[in-house]
Every structure is written in C-alpha cells, then in structure tokens.
Amino acid sequence: MAHGLIYEGVSPEPMAFSGGSAAQSTVLHAFDEFLGICHREDSAAFLRRMREYMPPAHRAFVEEIHGAVSLRQLVLSSGDTRLRAAFNLCVSALVDFRSCHITLVTKYIAAAAAKAKARRAEPNAGAGPSAGKPPSALEAKGTGGSHIFSFLKSIRDTTREGMISA
Ligand code: HEM
C-alpha cells in the first residue's frame, strides 16, 4: 500500500503508518542519546520515524537527553581512565544486548522462515491453512518495516563504534 489506506470516518485522504515495533520503545533511544551513539543515516532515519509513535512525553524525554551536555564529551575531557572504562562498559553492554537480539531474530524470523519455506516445497504441501504464501517483499522486513538484518547489524556496529578508545 504505497499510498496508504483510507481510514473511513477519520480522513478522506489515505494515511500510511508503520506496524508496531520495539524500535518505538523509548528505553533504547534514551540509552543511545545518553551514550552519544550515532547511527548511520538510513538506520537513524528509521529510528527517528519510530519516535513519532512514542507517547509525546517519552519523545520529549529522549529529545531532552539529546540536547543535554554530552556525557561522552565529559568523559573524554576528564581524561579519567576509570571513568572511560565505566563508560565503555555501558556501551559494550548495549552492544551485547543488540548482538543477543540479532540471535533471537535469527532464530525466530530467519530460521523459522527458512523452515516454513522448506515445508512449502515438500510434495503434498499444497493444501492446508499454511498453503498461502506471504508476499515475498515482506520476507526480509520487520514489523516496523525495517530491512531487518542490515538495520539490526548496522545499529549494533555503530553502537560498538561509540566506545572511547585509549
Ligand atoms: C522473538 C523475539 C524477537 C523478535 C523476532 C524481534 C524482532 C525485531 C525486529 C525485526 C526488529 C527491527 C525493527 C522492526 O522492523 O520492527 C526489532 C527491533 C527491536 N527490538 Fe526486537 N525482537 C524480538 C525480541 C525483542 C526483545 C526481547 C526485546 C527487548 C527486551 C527487543 C527489543 C527491540 C528493540 C529495542 C528494537 C529496536 C532496535 C534497537 O534499538 O536495537 N526485541 N526487533
């Protein structure tokens, strides 16, 4: 539905919305802003769009952190090695979370989809409730419409780049 959908009784103009996604949750956006993580433009654009689905006060909270004094700059300018190590530990916990999440998505989306495809290819697989094929354009897309693996790996990698080197 490239042009959206007409919601009768709401608006005569077609409207387009993303599906629900955990990328609309405030907490990881808040951590990214707090730690000064900069995602690559296409991933950042997706995440920015997801912010439009947050409750306004949550979005305002994330923007408040974005506008505040940079923690990263403070740590850098302090020259304190213990502070830098603590900061890097926080960034690496976020990297670990995102790696673990990629494993989950691989198991429950990529491997599950491959299994379903193999089942469909079996002889006698023509009938039954699972016979209908999902549109292939959706195969590599998340519920929020992201290109799943390139998006998730890109934001994991840019999180890692957020570490402060010695
Ligand atoms: C079977 C389990 C899961 C699947 C299949 C899954 C799938 C996905 C997909 C496809 C995305 C990409 C965005 C989109 O297009 O919607 C995403 C993003 C995200 N998911 Fe999950 N997810 C799972 C579990 C979880 C859990 C347990 C958490 C949190 C505890 C979580 C938190 C997030 C967050 C925060 C994002 C935004 C990207 C980021 O900031 O790292 N997900 N997920």
Give residue limits of the domains in the chain.
22-160
Give 146-165 as a DSSP string.
Answer: -BHHHHHHHHHHHHHTTSPP
Instruction: Return the percentage of the chain with pLDDT > 90, whole number.
Output: 72
CA-closest candidate to residue 143, choices 105, 112, 95: 105
**C-beta of 109 in contact with ligand 1 (< 6 A):** yes
Distance 90 CA to ligand 1 centre (A): 20
Residue with CA closest to ligand 1 atom 20: 22
CATH number of 22-160: 1.20.58.480
pLDDT in tens, 103-138: 999 999 888 888 888 888 888 776 555 556 666 766
Give residue-wise pLDDT tens across range 85-104: 999 999 999 999 999 999 99
What pLDDT band is residue 49 in, cutting at 50, 70 and 90?
Answer: very high
Ligand 1 centroid–CA 22 distance in Å is 5
Check whether 29 is labelled as a binding-site residue: no
**Residue 17 pLDDT more than 80?**
yes
